[in-house]
């Protein structure tokens, strides 16, 4: 039982062995007991994820199993023999971990979830000991290199040791001093470069003036009535980040197909009406522009996903996207009220609020920015909207970091629409900046916005995005 499991290493390095024969500290029994406990009980699985990370395990097979359990918990799916086996098969890792016989042996472990903290502590101690050993080897390697500057060598050694301390402290967050140091470094960098941006540029100067950039770990809500152009606005922001800034963007469309969003992107970048692009009724200059823009879009780190509508699916797709691209500058969800839940919740307002909370949590945990679109109530058609008009608002107002509301006065029957319709953008919540308003111009022909409102590009001067 738990009392028989100690911190004794399963493979203890012999003091007389040469460095090349060094066996890193580990305890396979503790790793198996930890995983077995997590597989036997959902609460233990969540506790294990809080106490450990995949890299804390010595065996690669154990790292893989732990990562699968973490994924299932993140998707709010049950952790059992069937779900773990299915996820391993999806990743083509089932045979690598030892197949059904090894999984079953973990499930049949004599250890109990009650003692999981004890098992996890042993795994963590051995993992830290391995990191200490790696740091020692790295420092030893520095000593064998030609020393030209003692201060530089001291700085490098201090960085290695600080890295060990930071690794241990990461489980319980950061100190205020560490956070302030990061802010100071960013402030110095901005002062030297003359920039005020704290995040990614949106492509719209007025938006950047209020937000100082699209910031990581933020949830941004764009609300509007149907056909006002919330999808158009977020599409342009996403294109700017992917095409101009070369930051990976994931666009999740619940309302429209992947092809529809792609066509909007092409129309926005070429400033050519979408129906002309589809029918091929283009002038020679527009054909050339079409081809030039298509080449640009071929290499843009921009992926569109349709036919998923739950938070767990969105989180899973985003994780795979980050694994493929290395990072994610922006996740767009279009739109909030169309999201679905696997659970039956009678209170729709509470359900939509839970969606917003989950998307905010995803932005923080995956270190990205989530922009989610939201419908407004019908009252917003007769007056300028406020954040209280967010349909089925629930906790949207409380969770969001920034809320943009789009308003365009209704045009009466018989009135002629201007080529560029002035649209008011109301910054109704801004956690880290001012509230206010500004105006953009909306071009219905290509469903795009221009800023400032009437700064139109002459037809003969069209250029790729």
Q: Is the per-residue pLDDT at 455 higher than 50?
A: no
pLDDT at 427: 93
Residue 404, pLDDT above cutoff 90: yes
**Euclidean distance between CA atoms 353 and 429, whole angstroms:** 17
| Mean confidence (pLDDT) of the chain | 81
pLDDT at 250 over 90: yes
Over range 128-146, report the average pLDDT: 87
Under the banding of pLDDT at 50, 70 and 90, the label for residue 221 is very high
pLDDT of residue 463 exceeding 90? no
What φ, ψ does residue 197 adopt, rounded to 5°?
-80, 130
**120 pLDDT higher than 60:** yes
Distance of CA 420 to the CA centre of its chain: 34
Sign for the CA dihedral angle at 193, 199, 200, 203 comes to negative
**Residue 137: its pLDDT value, please?**
86
pTM exceeds 0.85 for this model: no
Among 394, 416, 377, CA closest to 226 = 377
Are 31 and 20 in contact by the 8 Å Cβ rule? The answer is no
**Residue bearing the bigger pLDDT, 409 or 247:** 247
Structural tokens at position 51: 């106490």
Superfamily of domain covering 205-461: P-loop containing nucleotide triphosphate hydrolases (3.40.50.300)
Pick the closest to residue 396 from 373, 412, 414 (CA basis).
373
From CA 344, how far away is CA 258, in angstroms rounded? Answer: 28
Measuring CA to CA, which residue among 361, 432, 372 is closest to residue 401? 432
Contacts of 387 (CB under 8 A, 6+ apart): 223, 393, 396, 397, 403, 405, 428, 429
Compute the distance between CA of residue 113 and CA of residue 293 in angstroms, rounded to an integer.
Answer: 57
**Residue 13 has what pLDDT?**
44
**340-391: pLDDT as tens digits:** 765 556 677 777 778 888 888 889 888 899 999 988 888 877 788 888 888 7
Q: Look at strands 330-334 and 249-253 and give their pairing.
A: parallel
CB atoms within 10 A of CB 378: 10
pLDDT classification of 111: cutoffs 50, 70, 90? low
The 10s digit of each residue's pLDDT in 40-91 is 888 888 888 878 888 899 999 999 999 899 888 877 788 888 999 999 999 8
Delimit the domains of the chain by residue range: 2-172, 205-461
Q: Which of 131-135, 189-193, 222-226, 243-247 has the lowest mean pLDDT?
A: 189-193
d(CA 247, CA 267): 21
- 3-state class of 246 per DSSP? coil
pLDDT at 4 over 60: no
pLDDT tens, position by position, 148-205? 777 667 767 777 776 676 555 455 555 666 667 776 776 777 677 666 678 899 989 8
Exposed / middle / buried, residue 213 (Cβ in 10 Å: 0-12, 13-18, 19+): middle
Is 1.10.860.10 the CATH number for 2-172? Answer: yes
Name which of 206, 217, 226 is nearest 426 in CA terms: 206
2-172 matches 205-461 in fold: no
pLDDT tens for 271-295 read 888 888 888 888 888 888 888 888 8
**Strand-by-strand arrangement of the 330-334 sheet:** 302-306, 249-253, 330-334, 370-375, 219-224, 402-407, 420-430, 436-443, 448-450
């Amino acid at each position: 039982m738990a009392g028989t499991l100690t911190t004794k290493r399963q493979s203890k390095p012999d003091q007389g062995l040469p460095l090349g024969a060094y066996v890193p500290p580990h305890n396979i029994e503790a790793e198996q007991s930890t995983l077995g406990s997590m597989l036997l009980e959902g609460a233990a699985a969540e506790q294990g994820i809080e106490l450990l990370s995949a890299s804390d395990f010595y065996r690669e097979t154990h790292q893989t199993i732990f990562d699968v359990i973490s994924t299932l918990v993140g998707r709010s799916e049950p952790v059992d023999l069937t779900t773990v086996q299915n996820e391993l098969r999806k990743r083509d890792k089932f045979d690598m971990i030892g197949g059904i016989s090894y999984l079953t042996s973990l499930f049949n472990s004599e250890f109990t979830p009650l003692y999981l903290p004890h098992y996890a502590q042993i795994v963590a101690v051995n993992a830290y000991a391995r990191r200490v050993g790696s740091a020692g080897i790295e420092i030893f390697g520095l000593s064998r290199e030609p020393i030209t500057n003692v201060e530089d060598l001291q700085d490098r050694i201090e960085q290695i040791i600080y890295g060990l301390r930071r690794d241990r402290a990461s489980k319980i967050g950061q100190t205020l001093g560490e956070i302030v140091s990061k802010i100071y470094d960013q402030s110095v960098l901005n002062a030297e470069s003359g920039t005020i941006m704290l995040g990614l540029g949106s492509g719209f100067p007025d938006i950047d003036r209020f937000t100082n950039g699209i910031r990581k770990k933020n949830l941004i809500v764009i609300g509007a009535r149907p056909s006002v152009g919330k999808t158009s606005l977020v599409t342009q922001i996403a294109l700017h980040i992917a095409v101009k800034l070369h930051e990976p963007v994931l666009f999740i469309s619940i309302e429209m197909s992947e092809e529809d969003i792609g066509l909007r992107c092409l129309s926005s970048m070429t400033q050519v009406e979408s129906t002309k692009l589809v029918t091929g009724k283009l002038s020679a200059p527009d054909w050339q522009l079409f081809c030039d823009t298509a080449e640009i879009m071929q290499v843009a780190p921009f992926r569109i996903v349709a036919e998923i509508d739950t938070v767990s699916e969105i989180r899973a797709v985003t994780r795979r996207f980050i694994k493929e691209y290395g990072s994610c500058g922006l996740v767009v969800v279009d739109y909030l009220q169309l999201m679905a839940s696997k659970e039956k919740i009678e209170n729709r307002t509470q359900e939509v609020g839970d969606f917003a909370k989950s998307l905010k949590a995803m932005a923080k945990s995956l270190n990205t920015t989530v922009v989610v679109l939201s419908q407004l109530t019908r009252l917003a058609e007769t007056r300028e909207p406020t954040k209280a008009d967010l349909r089925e608002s629930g906790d949207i107002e409380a969770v969001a970091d920034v809320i943009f509301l789009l308003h365009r006065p209704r045009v009466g029957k018989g009135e002629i629409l201007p080529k560029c319709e002035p649209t008011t953008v109301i910054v109704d919540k801004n956690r880290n900046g001012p509230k206010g308003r500004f105006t953009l111009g909306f071009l219905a022909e290509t469903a795009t916005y221009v800023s400032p409102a009437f700064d139109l590009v002459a037809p003969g001067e069209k250029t790729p995005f």
